[in-house]
Amino acid sequence: MPASLPPSELHFADAPAVDEVPGPKSRRMRERQQATESSAVLYPTEVPLAFREGRGATLEDVDGNRYLDFFAGISVLNVGHANPYVTEAVTEQAERLPHSLDFPTEARLNLVGKLEEIAPGGLAGDSRVVFGGPTGSDAVEGSIKLAKQYTGNRGMIAFYGGFHGETSGAFSLSADGKYKRDYTPLLAEVEHAPFPYPFRQDCDPQAAVERSLETVKTLLGDRYGAMPNPAGVWVEPIQGEGGIVVPPAGFLSGLRDLCDEHDVPLVVDEIQAGMGRTGEWWGSDHYDVTPDAITVAKGIGNGHPLSATIYREELDTWGPGGHTGTFRGYNVAMRAALRSIEYIEAHDLLDHATDLGVSIRKRLCGVESPLLAQVRGLGLFVGAEMVDADGIPSADVAAAVRRRCMERGVLVWGGGRDDNVVRLLPPLVMTREQAETGLDVVRDAIENVTAKRVD
């Protein structure tokens, strides 16, 4: 079947087109939500909008305002909101057989075959897939059990600035002290090492890599500094929540070497960076490294929740029931996932993500503002690190940029260790023209914040 509408025809044609933001209907719906839902609701506290329809890389709110979407549900809607090629299969599957535990179905087997084909490096053709529950955290929990079961060990190594989810095991690997402190103790025997972040560490890229690898080496093998029984190393190939931190060359390959030397699995968390976001299927593809396992969620089902852990065949020692649960066979999301991959392939969206990412970063780098400290990224995984007039990381400046963008119909997201990074993660189907229009707004927002601060 042809992959239906081309990317250029997926969107509301007139976005951005905004009047009052947030409009009266959005405000009323937000009030209703606040009156009834949990205080834990997060996203609308920062983007106080109520949406009613999404198409491609555009969104419409309940007041009829239309937006360019540069956050794609946090790297989820890679082939765009309500992509008809995905929706067609989803509808057909929902009418026939939505749920079937882990019994074999065409939907399941076809997706597993495709994942094995696009898996990174040597995992292609030599992998097994286990579906988790629907969220990224579920995939990470699966990878923790897998590594512990395979090695018989318990210790885990992760990185500063890393985020792997909020269930107990995944939260233990995440490095976010602010949100973790109310829930400790989490899993015992987790150590965090520095993630190379030359800009923050105020050193050159090579020194940042060496510092990081030295710590991991000590944890893995130094007689007087090591964890007694490491089960694996968990790492994002490019940190997402941490602020789009792209590690310098040598880091991931160095970790690969250390894991080989000490015979522990290297688990690469591709939940945010994977599924084509960086212009390759996987973040680790940029570094020519074959992980022992990867975790996948977010973009895989293009909004239909699904997660998977894909791992080297040799690790497959846990046997029937080794990792089980009810919702590990949602055929609807599996059909969505296969269709999303086919759509990316049919429309060369990996190359498009690479090219568009270069031009977005170039336009951002051209902003002359002392408050824009660094622009980073790969493909459509872009971060702009904002600081205040004294060069200190500034969440206020980043929030002001985001607010001004929203008021002008462009939705960008935040992140970073100090919430000071403006994150741009548009659907891979965003057109060049849409990106140009959006970047005019983002650039203007950054310059405007500058003007306010300097005045």
Ligand X SMILES: Cc1ncc(COP(=O)(O)O)c(C=O)c1O
Question: Scanning residues 105 to 144, which ones bind ligand X (CB under 6 A)?
Answer: 135-137, 140
Applying CB under 6 A, which part among 85-93, 203-211, 265-273, 377-385 lies near ligand X? 265-273
Using the minimum distance from each CB to ligand X, give the nearer residue, 269 or 285: 269
Angstrom distance (rounded) from CA 180 to CA 175: 8
Scan residues 278-297 and list those touching ligand X (CB under 6 A).
Answer: 297
Q: Which CB atom, from 12 or from 163, has the smaller least distance to ligand X? A: 163
Residue 14, CA distances (Å) to 5, 65, 316, 431 in order: 18, 10, 51, 13
Q: How far apart are CA 445 and CA 408, in angstroms?
A: 9
Closest CA relative to residue 446, chosen from 425, 422, 418:
422
Binding residues with ligand X: total (CB under 6 A): 14
Supply the minimum distance, in Å, between the C-beta of residue 163 and ligand X. Answer: 5
Q: Which residue in the shown chain puts its C-beta closest to ligand X?
A: 136
| 309, β-bridge pairs | 130, 295
Q: Which stretch binds ligand X (CB under 6 A): 25-33, 163-171, 249-257, 433-441?
A: 163-171
Give 60 or 138: the residue with its C-beta nearer to ligand X: 138
**Token pair 């960076």: residue:** 273
Task: Taking each helix axis as running N to C, give the angle between helix 395-407 and helix 432-454, from 0 to 180 degrees, rounded to the nearest 10.
Answer: 130
| Shortest distance (Å) from residue 298 CB to ligand X | 6
Only one of the segments 54-62, 235-243, 251-259, 276-284 lies at the binding site for ligand X (rule: CB under 6 A); that segment is 235-243
| Short-list 343, 360, 281, CA closest to 68 | 360
Question: Rounded CA gap, 79 and 303, in Å?
Answer: 10
Nearest to 246 by CA among 208, 213, 217, 220: 208
Per-position x/- string for 238-257, each x denoting binding to ligand X as judged by CB under 6 A, each - no binding:
--xx----------------
Q: Which is nearer to ligand X, 289 or 449 (CB)?
A: 289
Question: How near is the Cβ of 150 to ligand X at its closest, in Å?
Answer: 21
As a whole number of angstroms, the distance between CA 73 and CA 302 comes to 9
Minimum separation from the CB atom of position 269 to ligand X (A): 5
For residues 137 and 278, which CB has a smaller minimum distance to ligand X in the complex?
A: 137
Per-residue x/- track, 318-337, ligand X (CB under 6 A): --------------------
Cβ proximity to ligand X, 163 vs 195, nearer residue: 163
By CB under 6 A, name the one of 61, 236, 285, 292 that touches ligand X.
236
**Pseudo-torsion of CA 191, 176, 393, 271, nearest 10°?**
90
Strands (E), 26-176: 51-55, 58-61, 66-69, 127-131, 155-159
All residues at 6 or more sequence positions from 201 whose CB lies less than 8 Å from its CB, including other chains: 194, 207, 208, 211
Residue 165 interacts with ligand X (CB under 6 A): yes or no: yes
Residues that bind ligand X (CB under 6 A): 135-137, 140, 163-165, 236, 240-241, 269, 271-272, 297
